[in-house]
Structure 1
Amino acid sequence: MDLFFPRRVERPLYGQFGELAQLLVQAADAHSRLLGHGYRERARILPVLHENATRATELCGRIANRLAESLITPYEAEILYDFALTIADTVDSLEHTSELLVLTRVGTLPTPLLEAAKGIERAVELTLVASWSLNQVRDLDDYYTQVRKIRRQGDRLVRQALAELYRRGGASSELLAFRDVTAAVARTVELQERTARFADLLRVKDA
């Protein structure tokens, strides 16, 4: 078995990666629910995302401390920290999108944007599974490929959402708010691919 960590710290550290990925799953679920509702329900769900983001940041810090104490190479530690940090950044991005929706009080979102949110949920489930395989990175052979496909689909859906918004028309202030929300969703999609790329770097190094 290929291990990146000494046995005395392996289980707790891997558990922290899994816990971080689970926070991402919870945030993506709350994000999808928030996008599909109106202002009142969005305001009710938003604190969940605030809590997820706070916990993800704290957990990422604990992971950094454990990596600093581990016996792995600096290169591997850097990639694993980037993997964790990008997951936390993705949770922040989900919170950011949701907060924009509440603050701007925009109305119903285009269907392609809701579909993009569902794609985000699929990608974070893959990330959760990947977080359980960091001690056997050869099992991650198709993780990046699958997330890459979701990224391409997400990019298309974001473009479709923008086109629908401009066809819909309306006040310039509302269009700007919708555009900011769409850009925030696109940012989350991009971060998910970045997370998968860091895991793939570990796989390639171990090949």
Structure 2
Amino acid sequence: MVQFLSRLFPQRTERPLYDLFAELAELLVQAADTHSRLLGHGYRERTRIAPRLHEQATVAEELCRRIAQRLAHSLITPYEAELLYDFALTIADAVDAMEHTAELLVISQVGTLPTPLMDAAKGIERAAELTVAATWELARVRQLGEYYEQVRKLKRQGDRLVRRALGELYTRGGSTQELLPLHDVAESLRETILLQERIARIADLLRVKDA
């Protein structure tokens, strides 16, 4: 794939395309950091932090639009263009999922979250960092190495943490009015974790195709 891209992309156009992916992945890291800070605070501070996630989700959508335009005028195969666009869209979806978690927390005024959910948020941060490193290798996908395996490991860990958090909630008990918002927050974190695994899987499809 490297030789293929180097033949079809002049240097002056190749770099800006992949810079957009790197910019989008950096935004994912920023959103993951904002997401963790929001989860760790109380209601008042969450209302202050939540708009930042909305801004990050909006910028992510704009970057996807720019990437789509660039891919539409590129000379890579339709299959590769589709995977790259799906890669970008799924990153934006992950940022949007984090914004959704923030909205749930603000609307329901949930208090302190179970520790396993905070630990799951740290895993989301780590997966975002791995995605940034992966975008640096998109033009050399054979060098993606163990990116997918590492994110898969984080996904399994995140799933366990979400299950543990839900188990603690149900063991502790309480009214449906109290438990349902926390359940929704936990499921929203699970969705973010799943999306990050999907990002890595798409990148791995590119690697496998180039093998």
What TM-score comes out, normalization by structure 2 length?
A: 0.96
User: 1:141: which partner in 2?
Assistant: 145
Distance in 2 (CA, whole Å) between partners of 1:183 and 1:2 is 42
CA RMSD of aligned residues (A): 0.9
Query: Number of matched residues?
Result: 207
* Pairing 1:66-77 to 2, within 5 Å after superposition: 66-77=70-81
Which runs of 5 or more residues in structure 2 are unaligned? none
Superposition deviation, residue 3 in structure 1: 5.1
Distance in 1 (CA, whole Å) between partners of 2:169 and 2:203 is 35
One-letter code aligned to 1:179 = H
| 2:198 pairs with 1:194 | yes
| 2:193 pairs with 1:162 | no
User: 1:182: which partner in 2?
Assistant: 186
User: 1:88: which partner in 2?
Assistant: 92
User: Residue 2 of structure 1 contacts residue 136 of structure 1 at CA under 8 Å; is this kept in 2?
Assistant: no
Give percent identity, aligned residues only: 69
User: Residue 3 of structure 1 contacts residue 136 of structure 1 at CA under 8 Å; is this kept in 2?
Assistant: no
User: 1:35: which partner in 2?
Assistant: 39
Distance in 1 (CA, whole Å) between partners of 2:31 and 2:179 is 26
User: 1:47: which partner in 2?
Assistant: 51
| 2:136 pairs with 1:132 | yes
What TM-score comes out, normalization by structure 1 length?
A: 0.98
Distance in 1 (CA, whole Å) between partners of 2:109 and 2:171 is 20
Structure 1 runs, 4 residues or longer, greater than 4 Å off:
none
Distance in 2 (CA, whole Å) between partners of 1:95 and 1:11 is 30
Superposition deviation, residue 2 in structure 1: 3.5
Distance in 2 (CA, whole Å) between partners of 1:34 and 1:133 is 31
